[in-house]
């Protein structure tokens, strides 16, 4: 199983623990597997052997968690760079991608940061530039078997040049938890407990008209892991007014 190093610790990510809208998980897994088996097909046609994915959606919707779990499931190394963090530079990004091992995944988080810096809009601690991001992602000298996942909370801020076909092959929106996804997560966390099915149905009904992220639900279910009733009674602490589509 794949892993990543974080402060000298090894972290294993389980894909079964990531709940997404129906069809997204299987579609991405199948696409990555198909890509990994077509190296000769790309070479015969003189096409750069790389694949790009974009996940957009609100914070806590599972974008990065899914990519890390995918790497674990496919036994692939993963390199992660959050473009919004202090001290990030074009050189760091270039080094990460150009030196990525074959058949590995590179995860670029918060790619809208480069657009913020380009427009000089807001305050950003990162020194990443849009031109640096674009030139690295577009590099013809990129490593073979190059798989890039990019995430953003603000898809409307992305320059079309960055996400054009050839840069981004698949784009999926990972949104707030739907009632069905929330129920699935609830029943998984409280499996084997008394009243879990009835509790899942109540939870689904309670979420109508409200927004909640998958990350918030996971945090709640961890705290209330010993009882379904506690989770239901505390649900209001993580709910937000329904978000308008962006």
Q: What does the chain come to in residues?
A: 246
pLDDT value at position 21? 79
Contact 178, 214 (CB under 8 A): no
pLDDT value at position 116? 59
Contact 212, 176 (CB under 8 A): yes
Running along the chain, 246 residues long, what does each successive block of 10 average in pLDDT?
A: 39 70 90 93 90 92 91 89 81 80 87 65 61 74 74 89 88 90 91 91 92 91 88 92 67
pLDDT value at position 7? 33
The span from the CA of 145 to the CA of 90, in Å, is: 22
Cα Rg of the chain (Å, integer): 19
pLDDT value at position 1? 41
Non-local (6+) Cβ contacts of 185 within 8 A are 19, 177, 214, 217, 218, 221
Cα three-residue angle 34-68-116, rounded to 5 degrees: 100
pLDDT value at position 233? 93
Let me know if 129 is exposed, middle or buried by CB neighbors in 10 A (0-12, 13-18, 19+).
Answer: middle
Tokens at 207, concatenated: 């979420």
For the full predicted model, state whether its pTM sits above 0.85. no
Contact 106, 51 (CB under 8 A): no
Q: Which CATH class is domain 15-173?
A: alpha beta
Q: What are the boundaries of each domain within the chain?
A: 15-173, 179-238
Contact 220, 235 (CB under 8 A): yes
């Amino acid at each position: 199983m794949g892993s990543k190093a974080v402060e000298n610790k090894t972290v294993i990510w389980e894909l079964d623990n990531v709940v997404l809208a129906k069809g997204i998980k299987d579609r991405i897994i199948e696409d990555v597997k198909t890509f990994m088996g077509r190296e000769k097909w790309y070479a015969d046609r003189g096409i750069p052997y790389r694949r790009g994915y974009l996940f957009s959606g609100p914070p806590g919707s599972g974008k990065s968690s899914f990519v890390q779990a995918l790497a674990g499931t496919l036994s692939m190394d993963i390199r992660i760079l959050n473009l919004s963090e202090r001290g990030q530079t074009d050189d760091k990004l270039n080094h990460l991608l150009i030196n990525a091992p074959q058949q590995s995944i590179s995860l670029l988080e918060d790619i809208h940061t480069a657009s913020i810096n380009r427009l000089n809009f807001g305050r950003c601690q990162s020194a990443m530039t849009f031109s640096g991001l674009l030139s690295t992602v577009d590099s013809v000298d990129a490593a073979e078997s190059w798989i890039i996942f990019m995430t953003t909370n603000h898809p409307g801020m992305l320059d079309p040049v960055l996400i054009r076909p050839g840069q981004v092959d698949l784009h999926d929106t990972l949104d707030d938890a739907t009632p069905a996804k929330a129920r699935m997560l609830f029943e998984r966390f409280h499996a084997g407990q008394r009243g879990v099915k009835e509790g899942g149905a109540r939870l689904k009904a309670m979420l109508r008209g409200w927004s909640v992220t998958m990350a918030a639900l996971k945090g709640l279910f961890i705290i209330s892991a010993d009882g379904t009733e506690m989770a239901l009674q505390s649900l209001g602490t993580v709910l937000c007014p329904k978000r308008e589509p962006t």
